[in-house]
Structure 1
Amino acid sequence: MSSVELLQDDLNIVIEWSRVNNMELHEQKFEVVNYPLNGSKALRELPFYPETVEYTTPKGHAISPQETVRDLGVYVSSSRSWGPHIEKTVQGARKMAAWTLSVFRDRSQVVMLTLYKSMVRSKLEYCCPVWNPTKVTEIQKLETVQRSFTRKISGCRDLQYWDRLKKLKLMSLQRRRERYSIIHVWKILNEHAPNDTGFEFKSHQRHGIKAEIPAMNKSAQLSVRTDYDNSFRVRAAQLFNVLPSELRSITLLDSFKVGLGRFMEQYPDTPPVPGYTPTNDNSMLSWRRTHSMQLS
């Protein structure tokens, strides 16, 4: 039995269960997104292909594949790219920033930062460990919102973005996303969050507690290997392992956050910005490699 037939059976079972339990589902709102591999591109261009991955509800409503689907506020695409979600996120944050700047006239640092952190930045960071981008263009697109807003703050207009971050004691959005990822791994380790991504940890006598990096099938196609390298399961584990052993062993959340903040201050925060040439892509993993190369 094909995977399409198996999923169709599962769909029928779920709908029948809901009917028996007097919980009617809105079948016209059902959506499906497929994740085909590159090797099947020629097949997907054939006229009859959509019919092979189309599902039907018991009432006869056809569920055709969608390019993008919104799930709990996060947009997932059939191309396995977070580009559509990042585009929607940036659009929403820009609209909120424009509204905020038009309503509030005060440009003082305290007022502007309070408005930015509560109304704009929160939109840019919703569920960010899930979709944390690694492409420079996407990092720049997100960073542009903070860059533009902070330029409006009194006394910051003539400062370049990296200097504004230092003056305002702000992290780049890129660095904050890495911070969120590390904290979530710590929460999984200390059972403050469900381990739904299958993290495994090992304690080493010399290196302390470390997150295990899952094995990758070396015969997998390039796009799959890229998705693997950029996934939360791998990137977050690598970031967590960068921390010193004494920091990874802290069991109190507030103490861990304080220690993490101090540790992250050791690394320069120079996010990708058009017109400036940074030393690397600004990830703590890259700064770690740069530091190791200098020592060697």
Structure 2
Amino acid sequence: YANDTTILARLDSPSSCHLLQDDLTQVVDWSIANHLRFRHAKSAAMRFSAQMRVQPPCYSMSGTRAPVATHLQILGVTLTPTLDFTIHVSSIVAKARRTLGFVTRVSRFCGPEGFRVLYTAMVLPRLEYCAAIWSPHQAHLSQRLEGVQRRATRTLLARSCWPLARSQSYEDRLRGVNWRSLDHRRVVARVKFLCRLLDGS
């Protein structure tokens, strides 16, 4: 991410749009002067708004108009104009499922603790990276995320020779492996993030 640049501004009047274009022009001029040219093909503009119909942004870099993006990935988080994180959740669930499948295969002869360590190290970070930012309020998205861990608890208990690994409820399996639900972990992450913001740390 060292070579990525993001410019954000609050736009509440036509003049603020012109000011943002002026800032963008200055940044581009600076990059040219320091031989750090931007790649226009990878540049894009997006306007965040709760309204479904807003005027699309119109900005240019060195005379080249920046295309309007329907979604952007910034520091690993996929953003949309309405800050609906459905695309982001779908992406991380797909990646987490693939990683869980890989972990399940390679830990076949490692025993339950080997699976637990690999899940915690490789799958859980995919499900929780920057979760304080994108944590969904929609039940169906939360269930999709939780589905990855549901599968992991079944695998872990089955390898522990737990007699009711397949028939127990998800909540009982969580207690059996001493894990918290992903929803609970995201709530804790949001509270910690808010405390750090208020504390200035």
Q: Aligned partners of 1:107 and 1:166: how far apart in 2?
A: 22
- Where do residues 1-296 of structure 1 align in structure 2 (5 Å cutoff)? 1-38=14-51, 41=53, 53-58=57-62, 60-106=63-109, 108-153=111-156, 154=158, 155=162, 156-191=165-200, 193=201
Contact 2:103 2:115 in 1 (8 A): no
Q: Take 1:108 and 1:157, find their aligned partners in 2: how far apart are those partners? A: 18
Q: AA paired with 1:187?
A: R
Check whether the contact 2:77–2:88 (CA below 8 A) recurs between aligned residues: yes
Amino acid corresponding to residue 54 of structure 1 in structure 2: C
1:189 Cα offset (Å): 4.4
Deviations 1:93-142 (A, max 9, x none): 01111111122214743122111111101100000001111111111010
Q: Distance in 2 between matches of 1:184 and 1:36?
A: 24
Task: Report if aligned partners of 1:125, 1:177 keep a CA contact under 8 Å in 2.
Answer: yes
Query: What is the alpha-carbon root mean square deviation over aligned residues?
Result: 2.0
Does the CA-based 8 Å contact 1:30-1:63 persist in structure 2?
Answer: yes
SS at match of 2:35: coil
Give the letter aligned to residue 33 of structure 2: V
Identity of aligned residues (%): 29
**What TM-score do the two structures reach when normalised by structure 1?**
0.57
Segments of structure 2 that go 5 or more residues without pairing to the other structure are 1-13
In structure 2, what residue type is equivalent to 1:66? A
CA distance in 1, matches of 2:89, 2:37: 33
**Separation in 2, partners of 1:69, 1:111:** 36
Kept in 2: contact 1:106–1:112 (CA 8 A)? no
Is the CA contact 1:74–1:85 (under 8 Å) kept in the aligned structure 2? yes
Contact 1:8–1:56 (CA<8 Å) still a contact in 2?
yes
Residues 96 and 119 in structure 1, CA contact (< 8 A), matched pair in contact too:
yes
